[in-house]
């Protein structure tokens, strides 16, 4: 007699999801096919359950329905698995954006309001000029925050891949968008004004298939943060280096390091991003590093921080996005 748990059908989506071909599962006992993270009894009891694929960050929602005959006798079950990883990630991102925006808007509006109220106490021209400068700064910061939020939306909607483009060209393009950053040769100082921060690029002659609409904002935010917090003149220096690791079949993975000589990113900031989510009482300073985190994730990579000496942020990307001239 055929067991109710024997697999009778297995569609193409199941093949992709569980990485098992139909020919290897048909007739097999269901518990031997599904990962151990699935509770078969709970699954067949009805309703919906969620579980995580072993060795993966993919989350599945599973549901079942009975197949019966005319006498309501159980002949089998239909199981439906839905990958809800992306929808969960989108929900978490929306929550982070909401919290960061609320936190920053509330704080900056409070500061601007407090300064504006001072006008009634001291309406003199000197005070008015100081207040106008402060309020303008707070409003500018809010405009920048809104711009970053819009750019995050664009990054998350962009295709992962695009046409091949020089990695060095992408890096230079990103640095050009950073105020006070100036690309220099490793042996020379800035030729610009004293406020310029030298940025050294060290990359092999390689091209990448990574979409510049994602990678350029990621590098720009990292360089901008390094320039802003990279120490006091005349010592500040930022480097952007690209290195790759290869095996016998080609490039396995590659890294972009953005390093500065400053005091280092705070432990609080690192904890926020290593947790990959905002807690109600734990906020990053803005959205820039979230753009980095989510942009790199969109490319299938990871971000790590080293704060032992200055700050080095490492972006690890899959080798499939790299090609040589």
How many residues does the structure list for the chain?
Answer: 325
Average pLDDT, the chain: 81
Count: domains in the chain: 3
- Assess whether 187 and 303 both reside in one domain: yes
- Assess whether 146 and 283 both reside in one domain: no
Q: What is the pTM of this model?
A: 0.72
Highest mean pLDDT of the ranges 10-14, 125-129, 178-182: 10-14
- Assess whether 183 and 305 both reside in one domain: yes
How confident is the model over 52-61, as a mean pLDDT?
79
The C-alpha atoms of residue 139 and residue 251 are separated, in whole angstroms, by 46
Please tell me what DSSP assigns to residue 29.
B
| 289, pLDDT greater than 80 | yes
How confident is the model over 155-181, as a mean pLDDT?
89
pLDDT in tens, 114-142: 888 887 777 777 788 888 888 999 998 89
The C-alpha atoms of residue 302 and residue 209 are separated, in whole angstroms, by 17
Residue 4 in domain: no
Is the alpha carbon torsion for 125, 130, 136, 142 positive or negative?
negative
- What is the per-residue pLDDT for 158? 92
pLDDT in tens, 185-234: 554 454 444 457 788 888 888 899 999 999 999 999 998 888 877 655 44
Burial letters 223-262, b for 16+ CB under 10 A, else e: bbbbbbbbbeeeebbbbbbbebeeeeeebebbbbbbbbbb
- Assess whether 208 and 261 both reside in one domain: yes
| 13, pLDDT greater than 90 | no
- Assess whether 180 and 98 both reside in one domain: no
Going by pLDDT thresholds of 50, 70 and 90, the confidence category of residue 250 is low
In which domain, by residue range, is 227 found?
160-324
End residue of a domain, out of 49, 83, 117? 83
Q: What is the CATH number of the domain that holds 260?
A: 3.30.565.10
pLDDT in tens, 72-104: 988 888 888 888 888 888 888 888 888 888 888
């Amino acid at each position: 007699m055929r067991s109710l748990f024997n697999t009778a059908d297995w569609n193409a989506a199941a093949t992709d999801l569980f990485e098992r071909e139909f020919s290897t599962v048909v007739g097999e006992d269901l518990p031997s096919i599904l990962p151990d993270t699935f509770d078969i009894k709970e699954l067949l009891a009805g309703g919906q359950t969620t579980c995580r694929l072993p060795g993966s960050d993919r989350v599945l929602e599973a549901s079942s329905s009975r197949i019966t005959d005319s006498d309501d006798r159980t002949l089998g079950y239909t199981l439906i698995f839905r990958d809800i990883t992306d929808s969960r990630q989108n929900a978490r991102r929306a929550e982070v954006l909401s919290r960061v925006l609320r936190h920053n808007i509330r704080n900056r509006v409070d500061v601007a309001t407090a300064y504006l109220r001072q006008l009634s106490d001291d309406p003199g021209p000197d005070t008015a000029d100081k207040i106008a400068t402060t309020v303008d700064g707070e409003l500018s910061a809010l405009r920048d925050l809104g711009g970053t939020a819009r750019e995050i939306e664009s990054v998350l909607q962009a295709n992962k891949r695009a046409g091949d483009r020089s990695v060095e060209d992408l890096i230079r393009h990103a640095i050009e968008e950073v105020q006070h950053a100036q690309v220099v040769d490793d042996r020379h100082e800035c030729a610009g004004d004293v406020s310029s921060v030298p940025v050294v690029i060290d990359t092999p002659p390689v091209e990448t298939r990574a979409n510049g609409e994602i990678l350029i904002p990621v590098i720009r935010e990292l360089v901008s943060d390094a320039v802003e917090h990279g120490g006091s003149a005349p010592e500040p220096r930022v480097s952007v280096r690209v290195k790759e690791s290869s095996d016998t079949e080609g490039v396995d993975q590659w890294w972009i390091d953005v390093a500065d000589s400053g005091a280092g990113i705070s432990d609080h900031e690192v904890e926020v991003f290593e947790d990959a989510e905002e807690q109600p009482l734990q906020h990053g300073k803005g959205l820039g590093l979230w753009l980095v985190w989510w942009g790199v994730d969109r490319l299938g990579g990871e971000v790590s921080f080293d704060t032992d000496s200055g700050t080095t942020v490492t972006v690890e990307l899959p080798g499939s996005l790299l090609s040589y001239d």
